[in-house]
Structure 1
Amino acid sequence: MENIIFSCSDKYNEDILAKFNPSISLEKHILECIRIFKRFKKHRELDAKKLAERADSTENRLLEGAFYCIAYHDHGKATVPFQLKIRGEKNINCSHSLDSLPFIEAQVKNNPLYDSIPELQLETLVVASHHSRLHPDKFTKWKGKMPPSYCESYLIRMEDFLNKEYSDIFSDEKPTAMYPKLNEPNYNVINYQFSQLKCLYREDSLIRDIFSFLKSAMHYCDWWGSSNQTERIFVIENVTNPLEQATLERAQERDRKRGTIPRDKIIWHNYQKKVGSVQGDIFLRAPTGTGKTEASLLWAQNNLNRHRLLYLLPTMTTSNKMWERLANIFGNANVALVHGTSRFLLKEELNEDYQESTYNYKMKEMSAFFYPVTVTTVDQLLFSLFHSNQWETRNDALQSSLSILDEIHAYDPYTLGLIIEAMKLSSARSKFCVISATLPDVIKQMIEEKSRRKFSFIQDEEYNNRIKLMINIEDKLIEDCIDRVILSFLEGKKVLVIANTVDKSVKLYNSIIETLEKKLKLEDIKKSRERVMLFHSRFILNHRNIRENQLENLPKGAFIAITTQVVEVSLDIDFDELHTEAAPIDSLIQRFGRVNRNRPQNILCPAYVYQVKSQRPYDDIDIIKSSISLLDGVGNQPNEGILRSLVDELYNEEYLPKIEAGLKKAQQLVYRAIEQRRFLYTGKLFDDDISAYTRESDYPTATCIPIEYQKEVEKLNPLNRVGYNVKIPKWIYDKNRDVDNGEIRYLYLHYDPLIGITDKSPFLMI
């Protein structure tokens, strides 16, 4: 569109647009936002009351501040430049966030929300950052520039509209505010607020939670109003009924596979009932495959009080599987999946009714933890401690959620320290359910002491006496297991082989395939290859997804899976026989849990544990040796209770210095980040591997695409390219990377769909 002429003086309210294509008037958009705010106010009034008490303010004033953010956040759209730009004028440069600031400032300037810093206008900072992150260089290009021409007659009429809405919501007249000055640079408003932030000290960290609350209210109302989702629910109100139905259906499917009559109702275990009766924080310890997830959800039902539910897991693989389970219980529309590749996975999931605009809103809301149930890697929550993007909404979720921390044993001391810091920074309204099959007492005690929270403790006593395995500790290396694995395979068994490193798993896979094919007839060789699978972390995402689904839906009859520790947690798999390299006892117990998972109690399955020459990828060979010694001392048929007691023997008080060091490092980095960012600024994570902020590892990784997929991926948009991503050790990438390191980072190593990438893959000259 060219030569557009626009004048505010001769336009009616409906012609002042907030959005274009389809056209939506500014008044209608604000009305939709306020409609959602009325529901938000009712839903979050208890959170507002508790937060206001901490700030020596009032619930009404805090919610009033949220109303002002919503009412004035788009006033900067009622300017001539914005209206020209939204109608198609390409050469217009304006910022409606900046141009909204005089109006929100005028409303709150003489009515401070937080008396400890009366000059700081948190509402103004929320409006300033409602489309982009808050940082000290924000809007500097507008410094000294005079404000645009406003549609003042329209804005005066809008004030009458907002006065009526305020009176309806708060049953009182809206406080009168001076009309803003529009004859000086709008940058002056934000510049003054940034100057106030320079004076903050640690005792003022409460402003993080107030700012987070206001920012969340702003985004809930703006995003849901923009996408016309006025009836979206904030929380799940009933967990028990859908949980019982989904659990019954899963149990009936298992009954059919066993050839037994499907049961007609669910009877909870005693420990699950106990967990479901607990109010407040809880530690839950129970063997793998005994229904810990269901127990944690029964706990959630008993603690629901307008809470969101966060389900936090250690890996993307475990998160994917848990999302599938919880979506089956609560419905796709109520369960979010958030991690580094969730955008790609959910686009595939939603492809039947895919629309770009709707999809983008869903992804934005998921990333903000706005869904009633959010399944995510723990890292996504911990990033909020470092003020990375969307830290505000995630921090607000932490203050008002029931958080289930599954597989807590999987974290190193540093990550555990970050989790404890998150607990400390959460409010009394938040509740935590900490789950593990192998939770050592020393870690349990440390979490309770350092988080300053009081936990109940329940463990599954019923399964303590159950014996599932015949454990054989071998004097040889796992390379010597080949003949025994193949014999079991030829007998029709499902055999799981777990190596500690990717290279070892590839070597075992090649040896098993080679040996097996020597024993088979030519016509059986192809069929056998379909029943032998290699699975480790260095496959592209598309191939990882295929392998995960294959493991959880194994065909009838013989099967061999050669894997690394990627199968240790959360995959619902059940093998007849295990061959594993020696590892720390808690990892071994997790591996044992992948065998004889769903069988009658009188059946024992064999598990073979082999010696190792190196501690890789673990930190200490002595921990592995001690684990084997402890395991050897309890005989070859230990029950579940004995196995779990070995964890406490290994991780005793001598392990405390490592935990203490991790906690200290985590605390120092968190508070340094918060203070450097003035408690409110949002930073960016620039590291190639952003997990470096939340995990302590000697093996940093890089994400890239094998060069052999170049022709395919360059036809795809960035979102669909994610399916070809592979994570490999950074030293391998640096040694075999593309030269220019452009938009797509290619790896010049051969990628085999059956084997993946290893450090011994041949270099490609293309």
Structure 2
Amino acid sequence: MKPSPWPDWMDHILAKSQQYGGETLAAHTWDVLVKLSDLYRLRPRLDNGSQLWHCLYWAAFLHDFGKAARGFQQRLRGGQAWSHRHEVLSLAFVDTIADGFTPEEQRWLVAAIVSHHRDEPEIAETYPPGLRRDPLVDLCNELEPQVIDHLQRWLTECANPWREALGLAEVVGKITPQSVTVNPKRVRYWLQVYHDWVAANDPAARVPGILLRGLITTADHMASAHLHRVPPPITEPWSALAKRLLSQGQQVYDHQQQSGEMKGQSALLMAPTGSGKTEAALYWALGDGAAPPARIFYTLPYQASMNAMYDRLRQNFGDELVGLQHGRAAQALYARFREGEEWSAAARRVQWEKNLNILHARPLKVLSPYQLLKALFQLRGFEAMLTDYAQAAFVFDEIHAYEPERLALITGLMRYLREQFAARFFVMSATFPQLIRKQLTVALGDVPVIQACPEIFTHFRRHQLFLCDGELIDPTTIAAIVAEVQAGRQVLVCANTVARAQALRDQLAQAGLTDDQLLLIHSRFTYGDRSRIEQDIRARCGSNVTPRPPLALVATQVVEVSLDIDLDTIYTDPAPLEALLQRFGRVNRKGAKGICPVYVFRQPTDGQGVYGRDRDPQQAGHIVRVTLAELEQHNREIIDEAAINQWLDNIYADPVLSQQWTEAYQRMAQQVELIINGLRPFQSDEQREDDFEQMFDGVEVVPQCFEQAYVDCLVQERFIEANDYLVSISKQRFAILRNQGKIRPAEEVGQRRVWVALLPYDSRNGLSFGDTTYDPDWS
């Protein structure tokens, strides 16, 4: 709906080409201001007493005035390309309102206008000073006198009434615009003000600069995408959600109620697996509904667990409020949207969901910490990312799952967002060893620790530990697993490497288990097969499944926190205690089966190229041996969940482990400090994208048997389906295979290129490397 007054005299001036709707300049500007007002209502206290919203409103009103240029209008109507920057030309109108701003606010105003598309170095390169003929002269000549009059009349007659119509009069001051002449010298002056402000690199100006650019680009992109409205925060109080869950048969534990009553504080939660940590986190984020967080981010370490959490939260809050963001989110969303829809309609929905993530338009988002960390690496658009994190609530689940280097990155981001953007955090785990709690205290301050009551820990005593001689792959162990399955039980068999898991599945099949009694999951399946297997596992082993068919589920670490499953017992390779506890958590998950045995083998103790592979070879597997030594103290005991923290503290008290962990953490923490100190608004850094990509040890390949199907999908532009044929392998393994001549390029289609793995693949075992020894692709 158009506001009143409306500049009808300008309806011939466009902001978008006919290809993108032919939207007029006035209509687009109004939509940007609407989105800006929505963002204000989302974070009304973001300005902290400054004139942030005042500067943003007037910058947004002026930001596209330069689009009225003759050459730009011709281009929108199908003419030739225009070599200038319209946002620089918009600076010609700053003098009309400059008297309504202090010098500092003038810098903010100019920066918001000129930076909403391009970084400062690119603008400086396009319009360098000191040339014999200033390129700004030709730029200003692009505005015809009648068009200038139209723009000034629009500003004079509409700007103040529009701010009132949008409900912004309290934070946006009234200005009486002055009539000015478009002058290249004045544009140069304001451009230099911008360059000088950025060059000064005043630490006190960094956060305002981030917010200015983040908010105006977000509002502009939302308007350009024709987003109907910016979704408001979720205002439901925690008690209302608890009541809904009570009606579904869930109860409210004391630690959940304490979480809901934290009133805007950060907190740590320690509670057993299966005791409602997810609900506690949601209660904490919602609070009493009086001051809802601008956004809620729920982070998890593994894609399968993110996908499952996305489904769970959609059931609680609805599709419109929940988003999903990780490296394979498109695959996960496509699999869900394909149910009952044509592939093209499902693909369009996936693209729209991706757009909504880019636009920061979901009140509740499930994602990986690595999506958050992009902002620290100053990738393009990082200001909008950081702005989206302002005054947000972050849930970090399974914090123990990260290696010390990754944890240092995460805690560094936590501290930065807490100190600079008023973000708060809820960090939860079944265990919090002192090493981790110490670093969380540095990041979050002296936050309260919510702990499940002793009765809860007693209730969740559900496992009896048995240490076994020999190895998981010994014939006697294989026979024992087969006997368990044939007796009607569901058995989790957990190996540390993919090759070992594949060998175990083959041995169990040879020992008499049928395909219906065997499932294998690891990271070396195609994305399509992995999704199918996960669905099969949930259907047969899910926490609420009845009846439960006998089964041996063979898995690697992907099972540790990826799937909400509930088996009867486990046979596992030795591993660090945190990993073992997560594996145990897939057995007797709710404690409804009494006490179930969990079997850990004493061999091999070398870490198998998984644990400690980057450390001193003489110390390889040291953490496994120290863990086994601690477990020996509790062999055949019922595991006391309340004592686990002490077990972990005993393990990390080992001088070698303590030194290794601390040194690794501190090395990365020092780098994080340098990264944060190097953050500069208006200056993204494409070179840092390589640094970010180094965090991920993966190369995508397509097994040779799927090469033609993959290429066919690309030719048909069914790109999401094409990705179903890909497998991720480690960079180290990729190099080995390439040197062996087992990797070659696939046929190129358009801009896409992928590598073909000349290796056997089948839907039961996945991609096989043909070895059972050292295996760097451990998950």
Match for residue 545 of structure 1 among 502, 526, 531: 531
Q: Report the equivalent of 1:652.
A: 653
Query: What is aligned with 1:174?
Result: 175
Q: 1:139 to 1:90 in 2, by over 3 A?
A: farther
What amino acid is the match of 2:729?
A: I
Matched, 1:478 2:478: no
Match of 2:769 in 1: 759
Q: Which residue of 2 aligns with 1:40?
A: 39
- The answer for the alignment partner of 1:397 in structure 2 is 388
Change over 3 Å in CA distance of 1:514–1:191 after alignment to 2: farther
* Shift in CA distance, 303/240, structure 1 to aligned 2, threshold 3 Å: closer
Q: Which runs of 5+ in 1 are unaligned?
A: 1-9, 53-57, 253-262, 518-527
Seen in structure 2, the aligned counterparts of structure 1 residues 662 and 75 have a Cα distance that, compared at 3 Å, is farther
CA spacing shift, 1:618–1:188, aligned 2, 3 Å: farther
C-alpha distance 474-653 of structure 1, shift in aligned 2 (>3 A): closer
1:320, distance to aligned residue in structure 2 (A): 1.4
Residues 619-640 of structure 1: CA distance to partner in whole angstroms, max 9, x if unpaired? 1522111111211212312222
- Any idea what SS the aligned residue of 2:580 has? helix
Q: Distance in 1 between matches of 2:709 and 2:153?
A: 55
Partner residue in 2 for 1:618:
611
> 1:311 is matched by which residue type in structure 2?
Y
Aligned CA distance change for structure 1 residues 245 and 709 (closer, same or farther; 3 Å): farther
Q: 1:349-748 residue pairs with structure 2 within 5 A?
A: 349-350=336-337, 352=341, 354=345, 360=351, 362-427=353-418, 429-465=422-458, 466-480=460-474, 481-516=477-512, 528-554=514-540, 556-600=548-592, 602-615=594-607, 616-619=609-612, 620-636=620-636, 637-652=638-653, 654=655, 655-676=657-678, 678-684=680-686, 690-693=692-695, 700-714=697-711, 715-716=713-714, 717=717, 718-734=719-735, 735=738, 736-739=742-745, 743-748=752-757
| Aligned residue in 1 for 2:617 | none
Matched residue SS, 1:340: coil
Instruction: Give me the whole-angstrom Cα distance separating, in 2, the residues matched to 1:193 and 1:653.
Output: 55
- State the distance in 1 between where 2:658 and 2:101 align: 50
Matched to 2:401, the amino acid is A
CA-to-aligned-CA distance 1:611-669 (integer Å, 9 cap, x gap): 21421311152211111121121231222223343122212384554454344333433
Q: Offset of 1:727 from its aligned partner? A: 1.4
> Which stretch shifts more, 328-337 or 616-625?
616-625
The answer as to whether partners of 1:477 and 1:611 remain within 8 angstroms in 2 is yes
Distance in 1 (alpha carbons) for counterparts of 2:180 and 2:313: 51
Give matches, 1:200-279, under 5 Å.
200=201, 204-240=202-238, 243-244=241-242, 247-248=245-246, 263=249, 266-279=250-263
Question: Paired residue for 2:13, among 2, 12, 16?
Answer: 16
SS for the counterpart of 2:200 is coil
Paired residues of 1:300 and 1:402 also in contact (CA < 8 A): yes
**Given residue 661 of structure 1, which amino acid in structure 2 is its aligned partner?**
E
Tell me, in whole angstroms, the C-alpha distance in 2 between the residues paired with 1:153 and 1:452.
56
User: What is the SS of the residue equivalent to 2:15?
Assistant: strand
Cα separation, 1, equivalents of 2:192 and 2:590: 63
Question: What one-letter code is carried by the residue in structure 2 that aligns with 1:285?
Answer: M
Aligned equivalent of 1:343 = 330
Comparing 407-416 and 102-111, the one that deviates more: 102-111
Equivalent residue of 1:173, what SS? coil
Aligned residues: 707
TM-align CA RMSD: 3.2
Q: Distance in 2 between matches of 1:328 and 1:113?
A: 51
CA 1:488–1:503 in 2, change beyond 3 Å: closer, same or farther?
same
| CA offset digits 1:137-173 (Å, max 9, x no partner) | 3463465532162232331232122233246532652
The farther-off stretch of 589-598 and 101-110 is: 101-110
Mean CA deviation greater in 164-173 or 621-630: 164-173
Is this contact kept in 2: 1:626–1:650, CA < 8 A? yes
Alignment CA distance shift 1:89-1:738 (3 Å):
farther
Q: Is the 8 A contact 2:502 2:765 kept in 1?
A: yes
CA distance in 1, matches of 2:181, 2:769: 64
Q: Does 1:163 align with 2:163?
A: no
Identity over aligned pairs, percent = 23
Match of residue 295 from structure 1: 280
1:623 alignment partner AA: I
Distance 1:539 1:408 in 2: 26
Q: Tell me if structure 1 keeps the 8 A contact 2:155–2:177.
A: no
For 2:640 and 2:515, the matched residues in 1 are separated by: 36
Q: Supply the distance in 1 between the matched residues of 2:207 and 2:252 (Cα, whole angstroms).
A: 38
State the distance in 1 between where 2:683 and 2:206 align: 10
CA drift of 1:190 comes to 4.8
